């Protein structure tokens, strides 16, 4: 669900860790605990590896010590701001088969975009690249689902204008929930840039607000340590 997924979607991002979205139930945590034990992975920060913390939206951080994965970091989450519960994510997942035959299940690209809308500076250029990669992959034969996704999420003014002019009726509908799309239909590039900046500022603020109670809980956990 993180940088490795971005690489597989064609929005290359150097990543020192591997992030997983998981189903937080007892049986699944038992299976995950066995896999982590095989990697000789140990928790390196708060919170501890417990269902209650995953269900509240915390990430649990591990460092691997097995020789074949030495120093690799693994981050595990179950709940993310603005992202649907795990069963829906799993139903929409994308499966990629690598050249050696190994299969990887990724968050769908729209879900990955939502998960990346954080307060971190590094995530916003990645969001833009992810959607651009999707656009250039499908623009010759777009479906209505593709066009809807682009109008809702594209962060490249020129491409927004291109889609808005190709899909005028859909553009009018999407503009009700994303007003800057109306600017795209008029080709107002500078105004779109400003609206995108404001949109990003609001999303960053929502993410900071979401993490306030979680950060307070982490501070309480760190104090006795």
DSSP state of 42: E
Query: In total, how many domains does the chain have?
Result: 2
Percent of the chain exceeding pLDDT 90 equals 90
pLDDT tens readout for residues 89-138: 999 999 999 999 999 999 999 999 999 999 999 999 999 999 999 999 99
Exposed/middle/buried for residue 214 (C-beta within 10 Å: 0-12, 13-18, 19+): middle
- Residue 19 counted as domain residue: yes
Positive or negative, the Cα torsion across 209, 211, 213, 215?
negative
Find the length of the chain. 225
**Do residues 156 and 131 make contact, with C-beta atoms less than 8 angstroms apart?**
yes
Domain span including residue 169: 123-210
Percent of the chain exceeding pLDDT 70 equals 99
Helix axes 144-153, 123-138, angle to 10 degrees: 150
- Residue 220 counted as domain residue: no
Residues 38 and 93 reside in one and the same domain: yes
pLDDT tens readout for residues 22-53: 999 999 999 999 999 999 999 999 999 999 99
Q: Residues 121-136, buried b or exposed e (16+ Cβ, 10 A)?
A: eebbebbbbbbbbbbe
- The whole-number pLDDT of residue 13 equals 67
Is the bond leading into 47 cis (omega within 30 degrees of zero)? yes
Residues 89 and 176 reside in one and the same domain: no
Residue after which a domain boundary falls, among 115, 135, 158? 115
Selection from 87, 63, 92 nearest residue 76 by Cα? 63
Selection from 149, 123, 111 nearest residue 203 by Cα? 123
Residue after which a domain boundary falls, among 56, 84, 115? 115
- The whole-number pLDDT of residue 223 equals 85
């Amino acid at each position: 669900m993180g940088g490795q997924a971005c690489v597989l979607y064609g929005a290359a991002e150097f990543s020192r860790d591997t992030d997983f979205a998981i189903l937080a139930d007892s049986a699944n945590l038992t299976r995950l605990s066995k896999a982590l034990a095989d990697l000789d992975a140990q928790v390196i920060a708060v919170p501890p590896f417990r269902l209650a913390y995953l269900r509240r939206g915390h990430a649990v951080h591990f460092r691997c010590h097995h020789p074949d994965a030495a120093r690799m970091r693994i981050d595990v989450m179950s709940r993310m701001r603005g992202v649907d519960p795990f069963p829906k994510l799993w139903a929409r997942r994308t499966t990629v088969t690598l050249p050696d035959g190994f299969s990887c299940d990724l968050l769908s690209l729209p879900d990955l975009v939502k998960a990346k809308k954080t307060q971190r500076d590094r995530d916003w250029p990645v969001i833009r690249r992810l959607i651009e990669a999707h656009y250039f992959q499908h623009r010759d034969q777009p479906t209505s689902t593709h066009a809807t996704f682009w109008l809702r999420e594209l962060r490249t003014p020129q491409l927004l204008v291109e889609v808005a002019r190709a899909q005028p009726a859909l553009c009018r509908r999407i503009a009700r929930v994303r007003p800057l799309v109306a600017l795209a239909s008029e080709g107002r590039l500078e105004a779109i840039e400003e609206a995108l900046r404001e949109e990003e500022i609001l999303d960053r603020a929502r993410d900071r607000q979401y993490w306030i109670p979680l950060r307070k809980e982490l501070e309480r956990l760190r104090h006795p340590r």
